[in-house]
């Protein structure tokens, strides 16, 4: 099981900011594909953080990870 976090427009699109994902996909890429399919959203320009560190698509996932989907940021 892993925890998914959705921010900004993503949270509004899927109607939840935090979701429990019942299984652990092998990689970030695999998770992104599953999430896109499940919610009908595009994660094309979205960055991913695993346990608060930016992660590439090929990064592996592990039980208990927190994965955040981070749209292009606009702070400042």
Question: Does the protein bind other proteins through residue 9 (CB under 8 A)?
Answer: yes
**5: nearest Cα among 44, 51, 45, 42:** 51
Question: Does the protein bind other proteins through residue 73 (CB under 8 A)?
Answer: yes
Question: Does the protein bind other proteins through residue 72 (CB under 8 A)?
Answer: yes
- Min dist. Cβ of residue 31 to other proteins (A): 11
Residues 15-34 touching other proteins, rule: CB under 8 A, are: 28
Distance CA 76, CA 45 (A): 20
Q: Report the length, in residues, of the chain.
A: 76
Q: Following DSSP, what letter does each residue of 31-58 receive, concatenated?
A: HHHHHHHHHT---TT-EEEETTEEE-TT
- Min dist. Cβ of residue 42 to other proteins (A): 12
Residues 29-58 touching other proteins, rule: CB under 8 A, are: 45-49, 52, 54-57
């Amino acid at each position: 099981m892993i925890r998914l976090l959705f921010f900004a427009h993503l949270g509004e699109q899927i109607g939840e900011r935090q979701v429990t994902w019942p299984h652990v996909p092998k990689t970030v890429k695999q998770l992104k594909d599953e999430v896109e399919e499940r919610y009908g959203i595009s994660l094309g320009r979205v960055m991913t953080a695993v346990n608060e560190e930016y992660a590439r698509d090929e990064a592996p996932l592990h039980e208990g990870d927190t994965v955040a989907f981070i749209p292009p940021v606009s702070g400042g």
